Structure 1
Amino acid sequence: MPNGEYLRYVALGDSQTEGLGDGDDIAGLRGFADRLAGHLTAVNPGLQYANLAVRGRLAGQVRAEQLGPALALRPDLATVVAGVNDMLRPRFDAAEVAGQLEEMFAALTAAGAHVATVTFPDLGRIVPLARPVSPRIADLNDRIRAAAARHGVTVAETARPAAVNDPRMWTTDRLHASSVGHERIAAALAHALRLPGSDDSWTLPLPPQPHPAGRSAAAAAAAELRWATGFLGPWLGRRLRGRSSGDGRTAKRPQLLPLNATPTGAAPRPNQPQPNQPQPHQP
């Protein structure tokens, strides 16, 4: 759309799109989709925004549960970000996951929406224990790029900048972006969509920490053990029980509303800084 003047933005996806890591369930989650809606609202104050994402969803579940409602909202812009939950499953099929994403790309573009998506950083560079999934991530990213090219989908290459490996871009579980990470994802999408006021500054390294401290091998190993006990173990436990972190949850913004409108029954969200203003980096 000329000058990025979109009227109706709908976000589809899992926990990343829902906003985990940026706010909480009490004060409200924000996330890259809310932040991108802020960039869009700066261009067009009349923008209406819906977020159908639910944490824990696999790509096929996103397609089955969210595509129909998204099409009913008649978006002129949609983001589709899913697949990480699939990559962490033992039986991962990159072609099947990319196929689910491509079905959403095709249906939304056929309905007149401009679609945007992202590529995924290599978790093995962030979580050493996750190195076995690195080839899966590379494979899925290549398939996302190919599917996007077939349907005119905009791809924000959030997998490529070295800055994504900075621990400050991630929460303590190292699987969800921090507030800083979500801010960068939103800026990457705004830049890929060529929104006025956007640029490539999202690719730059974070400011140096005042007193960077190295860790011994023993300390690093202890940190990995704590991560496995605190986050990997519970995640695997849910998988073995057939449970998901999204069980019983529904979309936080199922209707199209102005960004600052609180959906009925939803928790309030953190205060919204103005787009393009620098945000404080969190440790």
Structure 2
Amino acid sequence: MTAYARYVALGDSQTEGLGDGDDVRGHRGWADRLAEHLARAEPGLRYANLAVRGRLAHQIRDEQLPVALELRPDLATVMAGMNDLTRPGFDAARVAAAVEDMYAALTASGAHVIGVTFPDIGRIVPLARPFRGRVLDLNERLRDAAGRHRVALVDTYPMTLFTDARMWSPDRLHASPEGHARFAAAVAHALGLPGSDDAWRRPLPTMPAATAWGTATAELRWVATFFGPWIGRRLRGRSSGDGRAAKRPELTAWAQSTSGTSGSS
């Protein structure tokens, strides 16, 4: 097992940690949880999280990759492309090329890189079923890019666990604390970290089947509470990340973390 001393996370809202905390107390998220695990193997771990919510793949490449390369990580995680999937004019080849640029540059710098494919969003958000073909296309390209650059890939699409509603926050756009914890455990397992195993794969306990009325009511509530505002931002050309910066833009010792967004909280 390799001990990693410099971990840099690149990405959007999932890597920033939305769904696991809030804007007042701070967001934890899977990358912070992974840093906790890494720090148990390497107490001197230094960690940077460059992710910013709402960012598209090319923005992550253009804004975060140069910073990441300057930080000289020995481990980097790249999660990019989900925000692109629902945009008009989506081009899987272009999105995958932006991700591959990051894979290529980071691996060439000597970093071990972890990538990810995306789950079947149509099983998480029924209104997103028309985008299933886009997910399949992008995922296949991401797998090919990972193979070309020897990137370790956490392939979530085949796993029904990652479409369980309990793995997602009420907005269905961001992982829940359980989802963030499971994904962090999946990455730790992929890295072979001490104490990691495949327990993250275990399905959650079976829940009673929802009634048709309950399902319809939940869908209407979700549309009014989350989908409507999301569409409104798109129509106004706004992003949830406008005016925001990375929560952890520099490599700092994990032991120095004191907030709810970092450390062992």
> 242, 247, 250: which is aligned to 1:247?
242
Contact map agreement 1:158 1:185 (CA 8 A) in 2 = no
Aligned equivalents of 2:142, 2:31: Cα separation in 1:
19
Q: CA RMSD in A?
A: 1.5
Q: Alpha-carbon deviation of 1:216?
A: 2.3
Aligned equivalents of 1:271, 1:57: Cα separation in 2:
25
Q: Alpha-carbon deviation of 1:268?
A: 4.4
Cross-structure match for 2:215: 220
Cross-structure match for 2:5: 7
* AA aligned opposite 1:29: H
Q: Alpha-carbon deviation of 1:271?
A: 6.4
Aligned equivalents of 1:271, 1:13: Cα separation in 2:
20
> 104, 107, 110: which is aligned to 2:105?
107
Aligned equivalents of 1:155, 1:185: Cα separation in 2:
12
TM-score normalized by the length of structure 2: 0.96
* AA aligned opposite 1:259: W
Aligned equivalents of 1:49, 1:35: Cα separation in 2:
11
Contact map agreement 1:173 1:227 (CA 8 A) in 2 = yes
Provide the secondary structure at the position in 1 that maps to 2:98: helix
Contact map agreement 2:61 2:99 (CA 8 A) in 1 = yes
Provide the secondary structure at the position in 2 that maps to 1:86: helix
Aligned equivalents of 2:176, 2:257: Cα separation in 1:
23
Indicate yes or no: 2:99 matched with 1:116: no
Q: Alpha-carbon deviation of 1:213?
A: 3.6
Could you list the runs of 5+ residues in structure 1 that have no partner in the other structure? 274-283
Indicate yes or no: 2:253 matched with 1:261: no
Aligned equivalents of 1:87, 1:257: Cα separation in 2:
33
In 2 relative to 1, CA 200–223 (structure 1 residues): closer, same or farther, beyond 3 Å?
same
* AA aligned opposite 2:125: V
Q: Alpha-carbon deviation of 1:129?
A: 1.1
Number of aligned pairs? 265
Contact map agreement 2:254 2:263 (CA 8 A) in 1 = no
Q: Alpha-carbon deviation of 1:249?
A: 0.3
> 96, 99, 113: which is aligned to 1:98?
96
* AA aligned opposite 2:116: V
Cross-structure match for 2:25: 27
Aligned equivalents of 2:147, 2:56: Cα separation in 1:
23
Contact map agreement 1:27 1:270 (CA 8 A) in 2 = no
